[in-house]
Structure 1
């Protein structure tokens, strides 16, 4: 039984929404970030980078307090406003042949604790604690956890009915994505959505494991501080964007390693022979065509690696291509045990990433590169249902949501 709850969002005024909405902070180059902060006074980036106002880089707890101050200023200046009624917020992102239609809501930390909200990635305790402290200080949640659910006809019918109305927001960003948002506040539609999700057994985190873990930690802390705790306080929930699983796109991360761990090219190929049938490819570049096949670029040549049929699978995780690559090559041959922190390995994604991988190896930045097929939603669900954890950088998931369109106050 999954709980979704409408909430009174803090959101941009209609005339400023296209200026306020921003990409995730990490997606901006230094030059681009400076330009936006200098020429767009309404950007949400001013809230999360409050030191710009003082021409100073501010970090730690001092930054947290200034983020809160900038947020209050946006409210005082009426760049942001608070809704008067609890609502869900239907949000569509569209570009070319890609479209996702989901909604902003508040999800329950109890569902997170009870494994109704399912995870497939590990989190780092230090990051959890730092972000929980950040949330406690700033008092709002601006980046939703992206979650998915099995396609549901009752939910979809509500969506289709609601989008017949004129959207509250409808604007296009410079990356040519169109963004539309509708407020769902009528009691009948709210009840239908809550009832439909109450009949679902699980929701799956697609992106935002640290955000959800930190919200859970924050709820525990605030509960201990609140002698009158009822379980209905805003801190018992966190903002999420829920979309049907058919509407997320999952891309692969390629792997590039700086050296062959002391092996020559020929010795390395011999090591691979234990678990793979190796075929040198005449055409280049080449991508894998099926699961358990890997494309490798080494010493100016592309190879296809086919996992041998006698390889033993023990569970859903062992069948995952990123795990197979780790267990057969990266760890035992190349000596990489820490996929998250080892400086010898790097990851790449994107439309032209295979070409970029080849260029990086040709330039001597890396010794070898591996390309995989994307992980599927079925694999993600199987691993989450089994309580297992995927290797880092197993998925690059879209849509990537804009910050500042809807804000949840804690």
Structure 2
């Protein structure tokens, strides 16, 4: 189903690659304002391309285009001589597993930018038009992809892992430790027959988009604009702008981790007191006081429709009363209705707090999304939030079930960990003779 093609990648030159930690950056939607300002201080950091800022009267995208042209002319970025599949491993530890190092194995390539209706690339969340437009504008200005989105395919036979394991023994570059504590290693496979095997494995599979919905939709918008400009019969479908840079990992691996994203209630609408809030929860949930808030994740773990609640006055375990679940009348699929987060959003945000419907909840400023337990508890203790609602993580099986049902999850349902980095690999969408030399050969290799 999914057509992938090797990439003739652009990378930092060897001198800069030896200190790759100094030039990589977090993705545009996870980099904090403080991180961003610190990274801007390095004139060669990839943040200047992926999250540009205005410079000398130029709009952000134009400033990034000028800088990209300078970097290419000066040899800061260089294009590899041959196309390849870029193997990308991330070694990391999960909170709660201090003695175990995991490795998420994957590879970066070009994938055809499929419309959602084609059911080849599947989504699990909605996007914000402003963010999509921002990514599409940057892509149109640069004709250069500054970071790979993250997609998931399923291969129970793990056929490609042996090929990737062999390649990673000869890395192109590696970080010592990135901003999230992971070690990132990049290698490349340029053997045409091995690339063909990657193409054949993906040709029989759908891809679930794990991270990067806005960047992927930005690629779709750019491709559609180029098609419109070319007119009927004016394009072959093989132009570089038909493709999107994606990092693909095997959903069957136990090292594809999804961390929970908790909800902080910054306010209780209508001036609700804590006692009134608890009283409103009681018709829908069993509410059990707990001695220690730190114990809530363990008490919730593995239990359906179970949550933790932390208030200045104490900690509570919440469990939905099974008989009330039938009241969940949102127009969505059974797979979405079964999710813990759907239950939380419907019965707490809508029924208890009166924020009616997914769209109103997405736009409500009274909720914040936080990943760490400690931060949740501290912000309640400091008076920055009225309550913390703690959740279990979404499972890979649930993500797949929702995607195949054709629906989307509530906002901020998944946090795939660790996040990929910007700056390890770039790809050009410009049409040029040098890249075209390889196109026909690898197209012929498709089954």
Q: Do they superpose with TM above 0.5?
A: yes
- Taking a change above 3 Å as real, the CA distance of residues 163 and 50 of structure 1, as seen in their structure-2 partners, is closer
Tell me how far apart the structure 1 counterparts of residues 275 and 38 of structure 2 sit (CA, whole Å).
49
Q: CA deviation at 1:134?
A: 2.0
- The answer to whether residue 59 in structure 2 is matched with residue 66 in structure 1 is no
Q: CA deviation at 1:297?
A: 1.1
- 1:252 aligns with 260
- 1:309 aligns with 322
Tell me how far apart the structure 2 counterparts of residues 36 and 157 of structure 1 sit (CA, whole Å).
36
Alignment of 1:327-342 (within 5 A): 327-337=346-356, 338-342=360-364
Alpha-carbon RMSD across the aligned residues, in angstroms, is 2.1
> Secondary structure at the residue paired with 2:289?
strand
Conserved 8 A contact 1:250-1:374: yes
Q: CA deviation at 1:28?
A: 4.8
Q: Deviations over 1:319-354 (max 9, x none)?
A: 1111100111111211224232211111111xxx22
Conserved 8 A contact 2:380-2:387: yes
Tell me how far apart the structure 2 counterparts of residues 49 and 155 of structure 1 sit (CA, whole Å).
33
Conserved 8 A contact 1:300-1:362: no
TM-score by length of structure 2 reads: 0.84
- Taking a change above 3 Å as real, the CA distance of residues 35 and 361 of structure 1, as seen in their structure-2 partners, is closer
- The answer to whether residue 159 in structure 2 is matched with residue 154 in structure 1 is yes
Tell me how far apart the structure 1 counterparts of residues 414 and 196 of structure 2 sit (CA, whole Å).
34
Conserved 8 A contact 1:44-1:403: yes
Unaligned runs of 5+ in 1: none
Q: CA deviation at 1:111?
A: 6.1
- Taking a change above 3 Å as real, the CA distance of residues 333 and 107 of structure 1, as seen in their structure-2 partners, is same
Conserved 8 A contact 2:146-2:422: yes
Tell me how far apart the structure 1 counterparts of residues 168 and 354 of structure 2 sit (CA, whole Å).
53
Conserved 8 A contact 1:291-1:373: no
> Secondary structure at the residue paired with 1:216?
helix
Q: CA deviation at 1:25?
A: 4.5
- 1:229 aligns with 235
Unaligned runs of 5+ in 2: 94-100, 430-447
- The answer to whether residue 292 in structure 2 is matched with residue 270 in structure 1 is no
- 2:442 aligns with none
- Taking a change above 3 Å as real, the CA distance of residues 89 and 174 of structure 1, as seen in their structure-2 partners, is closer
Q: Deviations over 1:275-303 (max 9, x none)?
A: 21111112333222223111011242111
Alignment of 1:189-200 (within 5 A): 189-200=194-205
> Secondary structure at the residue paired with 2:293?
coil
Conserved 8 A contact 2:107-2:248: yes
- 1:344 aligns with 366
- Taking a change above 3 Å as real, the CA distance of residues 3 and 138 of structure 1, as seen in their structure-2 partners, is same
Conserved 8 A contact 1:296-1:305: yes
Tell me how far apart the structure 2 counterparts of residues 50 and 299 of structure 1 sit (CA, whole Å).
41
Which moved further from structure 2: 231-240 or 27-36? Answer: 27-36
Tell me how far apart the structure 1 counterparts of residues 391 and 320 of structure 2 sit (CA, whole Å).
12
- 2:310 aligns with 297
Runs (4 or more) in structure 1 with deviation over 4 Å come to: 25-32, 48-54
- The answer to whether residue 407 in structure 2 is matched with residue 388 in structure 1 is yes
Tell me how far apart the structure 2 counterparts of residues 294 and 74 of structure 1 sit (CA, whole Å).
50
- Taking a change above 3 Å as real, the CA distance of residues 265 and 177 of structure 1, as seen in their structure-2 partners, is closer
Tell me how far apart the structure 1 counterparts of residues 154 and 71 of structure 2 sit (CA, whole Å).
37
- 1:46 aligns with 48
- The answer to whether residue 85 in structure 2 is matched with residue 91 in structure 1 is no
